[in-house]
Amino acid sequence: MLTGIVIDALDVTRMDRFWSQATQGRTAGLHLRFVPTSKPKTSYKNRLHLDLAGGEDWQGEVARLLSLGATHADIGQGNVPWDVLADPEGNEFCVLRPGHPGVLTDSGLAAICLDVTEEDLLAQKAFWRSRSQWHTAESHDWGVRLRPTPTSTVSLVMGPPAAPKQGRNRLRLEITQRDGEPGEFLDPGNNEFHVTG
């Protein structure tokens, strides 16, 4: 079962505080776990990122996140109907505006987005449906959306384009599996994920 996201952090305390305040504790039961690293993020785009719901006052929400230590980020997104920011260690995340497809909440964590190539999409869909125990809520040309329940406020969104793999992913999915061997493994798209007992 998908239970959380593991995030590498140079400063675990600062990152934990930032994300707790950024999500306002609204993570739909998913745990954000920060693990120490000595390697800073480089210029590449992460393959996994989080989407937060901006709500009706999305401009105010962007201002609030900037006041917490976020910065504006340009990952080549162009003119899009959402705002791309980065956390204090440079990890990209999006603030979604009202009316964004698939958003079922007005604040907090709305989606976990995993870059997947068109060639890997079917394999990744099958793999993450099985591992997460979440269900297909949408399946389109742009990708797939999984939810734990039809009314859950958080979803796992997978689809292209996929950022090139640049070493170990800084953000990784975490699943709890009673009979599974704990550790770090690779999904069909060569993305690391964690298994806990």
> Structurally, how many domains does the chain consist of?
1
pTM for this structure? 0.95
Q: Which domain holds residue 135?
A: 2-196
Measure the CA–CA gap between 197 and 194, rounded to whole angstroms: 10
Q: What is the pLDDT of residues 5-34, one digit of tens each?
A: 999 999 999 999 999 999 999 999 999 999
Phi and psi dihedrals of 18, rounded to 5?
A: -60, -50
> What tens digit of pLDDT does each residue of 66-116 get?
999 999 999 888 888 999 999 999 999 999 999 999 999 999 999 999 999
CATH of the domain at 11: 3.10.180.10
- In the sheet with 48-53, reading across from the earlier edge strand, the strands are 71-72, 82-86, 92-96, 48-53, 109-115, 155-159, 143-147, 135-140
